Amino acid sequence: MKKVLSSLFIVLCLSAGLAHADGRWGDRWRGGWHGGGDGWFLPALIGGAALGYMVSQPQTVYVQQPPVVYTQPQTVYVQTPPPVIVAPQGTYAGPPPRPLYKEVIEYDPQCNCNVKVQRQVGWQ
């Protein structure tokens, strides 16, 4: 884009100088190349050379790598009601036995995560 704008600027400068040299003096052309007229050619040549040199210089480009974000599967806590287990039949002198549960973390492939589950380990 910089080269296009610089080239356009050079063309506009040269065409403006030619229009001035040709339009101001009628049919007689008095350009600045031979030392006559307003002397527009030499400044245009120097300006074009300076712009051309600036455009041809390499530009520094900084490339940054995007940040890498690693996500780990989150632990999902699911509270499921404990299963209904019928206690064995019999006569008890005290309160009926209660099931004993333990929290276990298991991998669930459906959600690709770890799930806390309560498993019965015995009676109390």
Q: What are phi and psi of 21, to 5 degrees?
A: -70, -35
21 falls in which pLDDT band (50, 70, 90)? low
Query: What integer pLDDT is reported at residue 5 of this predicted model?
Result: 76
pLDDT score at 30: 52
**Number of domains making up the chain:** 2
Give yes or no: residues 7 and 43 share one domain: yes
85, 113: one domain: yes
Per-residue pLDDT tens over the stretch 60-113: 888 888 888 888 888 878 777 777 777 666 666 677 778 899 999 998 888 889
Q: Give the list of residues 6+ apart from residue 118 with CB closer than 8 angstroms, or none.
A: 80, 82, 101, 102, 103, 104
Same domain, 82 and 41: no
> H helices of 2-115, where?
2-24, 41-56
Residues with Cβ within 8 Å of 38's Cβ and at least 6 positions away in sequence, in order, are 20, 21, 32
66 lies in some domain: no
Number of helices followed by number of strands (H, E) in the chain: 2, 3
23-54: per-residue pLDDT in tens? 555 445 555 455 555 677 778 888 888 888 88
pTM of this prediction? Answer: 0.25
Residues 6 or more apart whose CB falls under 8 angstroms from that of 13 comprise 44, 47, 48
By residue range, what is the domain housing residue 80? 75-123
Can you tell me the distance from the alpha carbon of 87 to that of 122, in angstroms, rounded to the nearest whole number? Answer: 11
What are the structure tokens assigned to 17, written together? 């100088």
102, two tokens = 């333990």
